[in-house]
Amino acid sequence: MSISGSCPLCGQQPQIPLDLGFVRCQSCNLALRPEESMPLRQPFEYSREWLQWQEASVHHHRRARHAFRLLRRLPGGRRALDVGCGTGILVDLLARNGFEAYGLDSSPVLIDYNRQNKAGTYFLSQAGDLRTGDDQPYDLVIAAHLIEHLRDPRPFLNNVRSCLSPGGYLYIETPNLQSYSPHSIWRRRCGGMAGGYDHRILYSPASLTVLLERAGFNVCRLETWTYSPLLLRHALGAAARWVGHKVQPPDVPTGPTGVVRPSSTKRLLEAVLNSTIVDWALQGFNRLSEVGQRGVQLGVLARCREPHPAQVSFESPSALTP
């Protein structure tokens, strides 16, 4: 079943238009963006400037530490695979703390950088190919901010099951659709739909849970959270656009080969937004924004059900109440 224009859970055509070209499925509470509505029509090529920005971003390091604090407490083996590992921040953390950690990414620039600068073992891989040169199963597969880029998540989840040991874990992070509201100025600008120039499907906690259960996983833990720098970055960007200034975030591609290098003023602003003082000042607001599973980020830890089938059928139809 092609899901280029239909919901991957119920097969119906989404009917409720949202921002940024997304359309929500009323039955399953997820949102799809058709390919013709994608702001970025060609694959993003990772430049050295983008890599440096990622490494300097407190937000990305904070996100990796958040995941690590959860994953290090998991029982069982310590063989872990991070799919779409980016600059290897989480793989490095895992490898330095007792894990046999592997990273996969489709970018030669990132893999070369990680091999030279990060702990762990890294492999260049095409999207959907989880092979790393041996047949040993993994105890943990990590997909942080990957599943929202996939037009069809089902083959990926089947591939994850095929490389997990029985009872192994899958950890997913993705933008939280439930944090978005068209009736709130803040949630419309800074919710789970903010950014994401190559995001294709956005999930709520309920819809991602159903997707994983149909793929043969039991959800063990689900949480949402909001990071401080993300709040102010999107809020200030929206304010600047409102008063007529042209603002180009450092992660917005401007062509097939690179990104805009931020000005010195913008780098200073980034430093202020990423400061500990700003983080402390927004802690209360962050926690308030997470009430009712409405934090900007969604994290799910799921365990592979036994027995371990090679493939899982997704064809059982049912509607999901948000």
The whole-angstrom separation of Cα 58 and Cα 261 is: 18
pTM, two decimals, is: 0.81
The DSSP-derived string for 184-226 is: -HHHHHHSTTSS-TT--EEE-HHHHHHHHHHTTEEEEEEEEE-
pLDDT (0 to 100) of residue 234: 58
For the chain, the domain total comes to: 2
Give yes or no for residue 44 having a pLDDT over 60.
Answer: yes
Tokens of 38: 């994608």
Domain membership flag for residue 11: no
**Quick one: 132 and 263 in the same domain?**
no
**Quick one: 234 and 222 in the same domain?**
no
Give the residue, 190 or 250, on which the prediction is more confident: 190
Q: Where are the beta strands (DSSP E) in the chain?
A: 16-17, 23-24, 30-32, 79-83, 100-105, 121-124, 138-144, 164-175, 201-203, 217-225, 297-304
**Quick one: 122 and 254 in the same domain?**
no
Q: Which CATH number covers residue 32? A: 3.40.50.150
**Quick one: 203 and 297 in the same domain?**
yes
| Least confident range of 28-37, 266-275, 289-298 | 266-275
Domain membership flag for residue 315: no
The residue-averaged pLDDT of 53-59 equals 78
**Quick one: 237 and 194 in the same domain?**
no
The residue-averaged pLDDT of 206-220 equals 95
Domain membership flag for residue 185: yes
Give yes or no for residue 228 having a pLDDT over 50.
Answer: yes
**Quick one: 117 and 88 in the same domain?**
yes
Peptide bond before residue 153 is cis, with ω within 30 degrees of 0: no
Domain membership flag for residue 232: yes
The most confident of 39-48, 49-58, 129-138, 200-209, by mean pLDDT: 200-209
pLDDT (0 to 100) of residue 309: 47
The DSSP 8-state label assigned to residue 107 in this structure reads -
pLDDT (0 to 100) of residue 291: 83
Q: Is the CB of residue 84 less than 8 Å from the CB of residue 104?
A: yes
pLDDT (0 to 100) of residue 96: 96
Band (pLDDT 50/70/90 cuts) for residue 153 is very high
- Domain limits at 243? 227-289
The residue-averaged pLDDT of 105-116 equals 92
